Structure 1
Amino acid sequence: MDCTENDITEDNLEENPDDTLEENCDEPTSKLSSEFKCNECDYETTAARYLKAHKKNHKEGKFGCIKCSYSNHKPYLLKAHIAKVHQIEKIDFIYEREKPDVKYYLCQHCPFLSSDEDAVTSHTQSKHKNKGSGKKRKVEREESNDELIDDPIDEENEFKCTRCTYVTKRKIYFEDHMSGSLNFVKCPWCDAHFKHSAKGKLGRHLTSDHDVTKVDNKWSCQHCENDFEKIRDLLHHLAKTHNFGTMLHCQKCDFSSVDRRNLVVHAEFHNTAEFPCSQCDFMAKSKNRLRKHVYSSHKQTECPVCKKSFKNMQEYFNHSKSHHGARPVCDICGKSFSCAGALGTHMKALHGDENLQCEMCDFNTQSQSSFSYHMNTRHKGEIYYCDTCDYNTPRKGNLTAHIKNKHQNIKHTCDVCDMKFTTSVAMKRHKKIKHSTDVVKFKCDEAGCAYTTHALYFLKTHVEKVHKGIRWPCDLCDYVGGYKGDLNRHKKIVHEGFILDCSWCEFRTPKKYHLKEHLLKEHGIEETS
């Protein structure tokens, strides 16, 4: 039988020699059912690591409190307990629970500790020599947070949001929430607030006050078995899935979100053009876009070859294409470029011998841009979530496009035939191919063939399929596609099981246009997204 990631294997026991099979599960049959049970309470889980973390609740910690029977394995949690429960702010050392005569001296600026007092002193002098004493830093923090000191907790009154269930007893937090300033993050379970720049304090608060656990450097949800690498992803999950959290509101419309990043993305929809061009009626949304407009539309230039003058750069660029010969073309893929330098960059990136290998996975590419995109989207850990559906993406621009296309139904319409497109790029490509009055640039040279196109890539694809007989066979079955897109579509449907379900009946199809026809014919619903 193959082992799963939840199974306890001999390798796991070798890595953790102090943990026995009985310590991790109640009985050997748990391994076969992939269910791990605590032998001291009714706790059950499907992952051994969750059970291991849970087991610590039944054991006494390594370090003990000198004032009570509390103990913990983590010194910083014990330190937080002593400060909160026993009101002792400065803690110079702690004891081992089983060896009270062994002292561990603590650094007052970071989690460092040592049984050698001189080592802690040396550490403080070398690592924190510019930070000063703890008392001085506390005064500095209080001076930097005057607004919190001047705004005490109002025990009699509560400030309530009129748009959601947000409640607080501090006026400054309430004003921040209502104004949309987003300077503070509220704990999902209590009235504690933390500055956005102090996510570490929020994490320590959740761990010490609300028993939120962090297993294998991932935050675990208390209500399900989902793990999250970042605390903001956990907060988004709690708010969206379990209704624990604070809604954030747009001040210009009725939009609300549980995620601060989504509110920032939404704010871009309200951006208005505020930078007018001094030479025409154009209005730009930013200074950079205004500069680009002035450069392309109003900068006069002269052709260095024929000395002809042009009133803007766009006219010069169009002139240079027709006046100075054809654009450089890649001999391998057929893509054309505005200059030889751009072609050289393309050849080096896509068709060169240098191969870029990702150190974190098996991905490799010859393109620096593709490699950078892979690293940013696969290993950066930044995830943007949609509030309306389960869509998530590592790119902010993708989330913006998703919201426009799927939930705001923003379409780009062709002004010639009224055909709708989800992106402006697709609409412009459609107009160029279907409605352009320009002279066709590329014609098939084969005898008797009248094929024409505006793009060299399409001509190259046409020649390969029609005249050279190039086909794309599937490596998993006997299917052979005429185009590479046909092969990709075949694999997605046949071998990956892609399917679309009708939400009104049991109809199923792998093709989106078939589903649209079914919805319109059988249910009278016009699918626009």
Structure 2
Amino acid sequence: MQPIENVRSLKDFPCSQCDYRTKRKRNLKYHVKIHHGSIDFKCAHCDYVTTWKPFLKRHMNVRHGSTQFKCEQCDYVTTWRPSLKSHMNCRHGSTQFKCTDCDYVTTDKRNLKSYMNGRHGSTQFKCTDCDYVTKWKTTLKRHINARHGSTQFKCKQCDHVTKDKHYLKKHMNIRHGSTQFKCTDCDYVTKWKTSLKRHMNVRHGSTQFKCEQCDYVTTDKCNLQSHINGRHGSTQFKCTDCDYVTKWRRSLQRHMNVRHGSTQFKCEQCDYVTTDKCNLQSHMNGRHGSTQFKCTDCDYVTKWKTSFKRHMNVRHGSTQFKCEQCDYVTTDKCNLQSHMNGRHGSPQFKCTDCDYVTKWKTCLKAHMNVHHCSTQLKCTHCDYVTKLKATLKRHINIRHGSTQFKCEQCDYVTKDKHNLKRHMNIRHGSTQFKCTDCDYVTTWKPSLKRHMHVHHGSSSTKFICGNCGYVTKCKRYLVEHIKKNHC
């Protein structure tokens, strides 16, 4: 163990011209430059002026840069020295950093350090006030400030108090922020430095980052990196326990938890084992749950409170709702209301453009959209026309959308995010919804709900069409029937 005796004992750096005080020297330097800075750095080629020398240097490279950094082993050219260095490491890097405890190899020293701490790290940072232990110094520092910190940071303009300096800073920017970051090329103003940086790259960025293996071009370095990893990525994350390889760090992490997770939760009553605590809890309730809800009027027993409640209403419900105009009886008040509207209802919804009449407001709305809607929404890419905004949006995504959603576990690709989610649940989903009354199992909660209605629903719970007498146990089927036959 390597305890930290006092994480909070840091030196203060006060501003000599005002009451500003900080624990970081660079923050003080930044403060003096912004609020008291008298030194200006002016561009020799245009009217650009800044109080920051690095900004001037960046401006010179972007707007008037003649200095180029060229790779000696290929045709790669850039105006940024860090970009050349990154290129050399990725494309021609001969220096490799190898893990001393396993076969992990990387060309980035930081990746090796992160890997060593995560996999083989023996150094632990222990809280001196409680039993909290972590491998990360920053995590311990945050824990101490949040749990045991006596230092409080108070807003000078309101009563807001917090133990975290970053939260106070965020509060000041959102509630009372006077500091503004202004674009030097247009009137854009924002309170966030990152927003200004993104604006500069998107709107006025002359620097372009081009993929060396295809025609992809972007003004955002992160986008280029993401593109390279996704399309041409040579960086691979390999499982140290098996042959699994992926381009995505999060996929490897999920694989490790599922396949080789060291923390396992085992059922004490059977052989069920899982790496997810919630899955074990669900298994215990479903398979070995001791809590049971037993009917006092018959032998019905269930582990689910909702199933027990439904059973009582359906089988032994003393409260009955009877129709005053016919012999219809139900234990559900909503069913009686639906029956009254369908069979004996006097309220009618009439179309103002034709003789169409219905007892259902939804049917009238659907009728108006289909037959009398004058507003048409046209696709800007082709001749497709529709009256429904959602339909047009779906058409654009399917026919003209460039965004693709790819399954990380197989080759499935789709332009619709919901389709990918459905595919994941069906093909690779581990979550299952089981019927409490039979052996039916599904990965879809709506499917289980529909199954319960159709196969185990109340015999008196029925949805009746008020126009033709159609009867069903599922409300959705009744709505579809009415739209299809009576709208």
Aligning the two structures, in what range does the TM-score lie when normalised by the shorter sequence? Answer: 0.3 to 0.5
Report the TM-score, using the length of structure 1 for normalisation.
Answer: 0.32
